[in-house]
Amino acid sequence: MRTAVNPKGAAAPTSPYSPAVVANGFIYVSGQGPLDPATGNYTPSTIQAETKQVFENIKAILDAAGSSMDKVVKVNVFLRDIGDFRAMNEVYATYFNAPYPARTTIQAGALPRNFAVEIECVATV
């Protein structure tokens, strides 16, 4: 059985997908970009500001599903420019404590709306 998670106040998806799905004790969070949850708009900014907004969006989804950042077990980070890794990682480190989630970080060929960063994760419920 799977249940979609659509938190109130979060930016609505613009394509046919759920922001997250709960199944078998896990929450699978779709790739999140730095959208303003109130407006659904994207305003390009620094990689640090965009990363922070992405994690705030992920936190809202996890909270709505009864989970939290402490329960994240896997993270995939997609960067427009791998040169932003260090700056993204500085913000990333403020959202997690040891033992840290498993993580993959790649430079993507292109991201929706030309985001600088998109992040997806898996957490336990």
Domain 2-124 has CATH 3.60.15.10: no
Q: pLDDT-derived band of residue 4, with 50, 70 and 90 as boundaries? A: confident
Q: Which residues on adjacent β-strands are paired with residue 102?
A: 74
Quick one: which of 99, 117, 2, 18 has its CA closest to 61?
Answer: 18
Quick one: which of 121, 115, 120 has its CA closest to 34?
Answer: 115
pLDDT tens digits, residue range 9-51? 677 777 888 899 999 999 999 999 999 988 889 999 999 999 9
Quick one: which of 62, 84, 79 has its CA closest to 71?
Answer: 62
Q: Model-level pTM? A: 0.95
pLDDT tens digits, residue range 48-98? 999 999 999 999 999 999 999 999 999 999 999 999 999 999 999 999 999
